[in-house]
Amino acid sequence: MDVTSIIVSFEDCAKKQYHFTLEGNWRKGNEQVKKMNELFARIKDHGDEARNKLLDLTNSNSDEVASMAAVYSMRFNPEKCLKTLQGIAEKNIPLLSSDAKQAIENWNNKEWYID
């Protein structure tokens, strides 16, 4: 799978995960998280070019995509990711805003386990 396909798949999984979670379908939501974890491993295998493409998704018009891209890219570019998460936290979007606040808190408390 090439980098572009991986990034598109990640974006799709982020959207599905959010919508399944909103519906209360945790099993399907968790399946999407598992897929994103697998895609993220592939992204890391492709190096900085792929990591930068994932980081570009923090500018997505889709807040669920921007949020997940920020979470997975936090160690790669904390400044940009924290800015993205702070913006999402301030929007009061169901689930996303509270998750963004929690991610920021975890980062600030040095309790970061992704990547």
Task: Name the CATH superfamily for 3-108.
Answer: Phosphatidylinositol 3-kinase, accessory domain (PIK) (1.25.40.70)
Chain Cα centroid distance, residue 82:
12
CA 22 to CA 24: how far, in whole Å?
Answer: 5
113 φ/ψ angles, rounded to the nearest 5 degrees: -120, 0
* Confidence at residue 113, expressed as pLDDT on a 0 to 100 scale: 82
C-alpha closest to that of 52 among 82, 86, 77, 84: 77
User: CA 17, CA 24: separation in Å to the nearest integer?
Assistant: 11
Residue listed under structure tokens 């493409």:
53
Structural domain spans, the chain:
3-108
HEC secondary structure over 4-50: HHHHHHHHHHHHHHHHHHHHCCHHHHHHHHHHHHHHHHHHHHCCHHH
pLDDT in tens, 80-109: 999 999 999 999 999 999 999 999 999 999
Task: Please say if the pLDDT value at position 10 is more than 90.
Answer: yes
Q: Given a cut of 90, is residue 114 above it in pLDDT? A: no
Does residue 112 register a pLDDT over 90?
no
User: pLDDT tens digits for 14-73?
Assistant: 999 999 999 999 999 999 999 999 999 999 999 999 999 999 999 999 999 999 999 999
